[in-house]
Amino acid sequence: MCASLGSILVLPVPRRSSVRSVVVVGAGVIGLSCALVLSERGWSVTVISRDDVGSASVDGSASVAAASLWAPTLVERSERVRQWAYVTLAELRRIAAAEPEAGIREQAALTLGEAAWTPDPWMRGFGGPVRDARADELPVGYGAGAVSVVPLIDTARYLPWLHARCRRSEVEVVHRDARSPADAAPDLMHGTPVVIAAGFGSGALVDDPSLTSVRGQIVRMTNPGLTRTVMVRDGALGPLFVVPRFDDVVIGGPSQAESSDIGFDEGLERDLVTRARAIAPALDDATVLGRAVGLRPVRPTVRVERERIGETDVVHCYGHGGAGYALSWGTAVAAADLVEQIG
């Protein structure tokens, strides 16, 4: 039941004999992963969330809007991030094999480029091998591309699965707004640590101006039988991704820097659908199932650290940018280790 990388154990860790309480602010992929790791270690966990992220209709939540792939983007390129990504990869693969209902599967991804794709050194060795696409795999208008196989984490299945796993582990989820770390735990015993895992909302909670939002808009369509992800990273028209999942296809594209507008842009959706149909003509007859806007919490570095704020011991776990799913288990273990260091 456990995945390991070097000396890092993901799950499970032996239960503690005396139960201690901890509050986690945020019920996106980061908050729920932290809650689950802490609960598995024997902590009594209360999650506080402004929104019901388990519902697919929440606008602004990055976790709901993501498709999502194990492919860290918009995040610091450091050794610790690489390590968190590998820990998460191992755990996602373990979950995929053990619990199919979690909505994770390995899926081919074709990245289209003007020139032959050169692996980014930081990404080299991530996941499985990468090969050049054959000419018959390329859509009209593209001369080169690369094919890799990475886990797809179908957020429409994975988030409800995470919620259910938290419920089974007796994690309590309370829907309310927290105005500060102290406000998050008013009814609990003095000394209860608070994990700040509120995505873009963390900046206002702990007064962190270095946290910005990068807006992403997606449209979900019926799946006409696509089985392969297709991505354009750059190019004249900007990024585009077409991600077939278990029950739909998610189409998205531009990462709109420092935008916290969660309103829906109809023109952008028309453009995304037109471009997606050009590279995947089977989508011509597909119909729209839903849409979402998410704010990626971007920071120069992912914040996983301890801080004493007033009378409250805080563990930060936010700022995952475009890599929250790809880093979730790695940072949850790191945050739980910090909680356990609080005396």
Q: Is 296 annotated as a binding residue?
A: yes
d(CA 173, CA 196): 15
With binding defined as CB under 6 A, does residue 297 bind ligand FAD?
Answer: yes
Nearer to ligand FAD, 42 or 309 (CB): 309
Q: Is 145 annotated as a binding residue?
A: no
Nearer to ligand FAD, 74 or 136 (CB): 74
With binding defined as CB under 6 A, does residue 219 bind ligand FAD?
Answer: no
> Among 10, 205, 206, 334, which residue sits at the site for ligand FAD (rule: CB under 6 A)?
205
Q: Is 299 annotated as a binding residue?
A: no
Q: Is 67 annotated as a binding residue?
A: yes
For ligand FAD (CB under 6 A), the number of binding residues is 43
Nearer to ligand FAD, 217 or 223 (CB): 217
Pair type for strands 21-25 and 44-49: parallel
With binding defined as CB under 6 A, does residue 245 bind ligand FAD?
Answer: no
Residue span binding ligand FAD (CB under 6 A) among the ranges 26-34, 224-232, 259-267, 335-343: 26-34
Residue span binding ligand FAD (CB under 6 A) among the ranges 104-112, 160-168, 261-269, 320-328: 320-328
Question: What are 157's two structure tokens?
Answer: 């299945």
d(CA 316, CA 339): 10
Site for ligand FAD in 36-95 (CB under 6 A): 48-51, 53, 61-63, 65-69, 71
Q: Is 294 annotated as a binding residue?
A: no
* Number of other CB atoms surrounding residue 101 within 10 Å: 11
Q: Could you list the residues that contact ligand FAD (CB under 6 A)?
A: 25-31, 48-51, 53, 61-63, 65-69, 71, 177-178, 197-201, 205, 216, 218, 252, 294, 296-297, 318, 320-326
